[in-house]
Amino acid sequence: MSRRKVNCFARFVVAGLVFATVTQSALAQAEFPYERDLVFDARPMRGGKRVPILSIDASGRAQLDLWCKRGQGEAVIAGDTITILVGAMREGSCTPERAQADEDMIAALSTVTNWSARGDVVTLSGGAATLRFRAASH
């Protein structure tokens, strides 16, 4: 083989390896942040400090602490897909505005189909709304 063909072949191999590495890292999905409190990326409502928190353990058990309501559910996570089944919620005493926000959050969580993570931000999407959470650092 001529020297020119060897150089061309070597460049082809290197380009292929670089492409394979970039493709593999782009396709690799970060692992879901199990056992971490995911704090809804929103300001507290007027008159309180509370914002919704979602926590999912490795077995799929979900704990939901919303604006007023608290309860449990189940989450099924496979790759970048997610299904959240909201279970029975305990009522808290709250304003009509907070009660409506809880109902909206339950509806949105029940319709999400995908998740992604970038840094400490976890995004749930594909449903009625896109929900952004921040993984608590404690």
Q: Residues near 86 by Cβ (< 8 Å), separated by ≥ 6?
A: 64, 71, 73, 106, 109, 110
Q: Residue 1 — pLDDT band, cuts 50, 70, 90?
A: low
Is residue 53 domain-shared with residue 87, that is, in the same domain?
yes
pLDDT in tens, 44-94: 998 889 999 999 999 999 999 999 999 999 999 999 999 999 999 998 888
Q: Residues near 35 by Cβ (< 8 Å), separated by ≥ 6?
A: 55, 57, 58
Model pTM score: 0.77
Is residue 10 domain-shared with residue 42, that is, in the same domain?
no
Find out whether 124 and 137 touch, Cβ atoms under 8 Å: no
Q: How many residues does the chain have?
A: 138
Is residue 56 domain-shared with residue 96, that is, in the same domain?
yes
Number of domains in the chain: 2
Is residue 21 domain-shared with residue 69, that is, in the same domain?
no
Q: Is residue 112 packed enough to be buried (19+ CB in 10 Å), middle (13-18) or exposed (0-12)?
A: buried
Is residue 81 domain-shared with residue 115, that is, in the same domain?
yes
d(CA 14, CA 9): 9
Average pLDDT, the chain: 84
Q: Residue 29 — pLDDT band, cuts 50, 70, 90?
A: low
Is residue 51 domain-shared with residue 12, that is, in the same domain?
no
Residue 77 lies in domain: 37-135
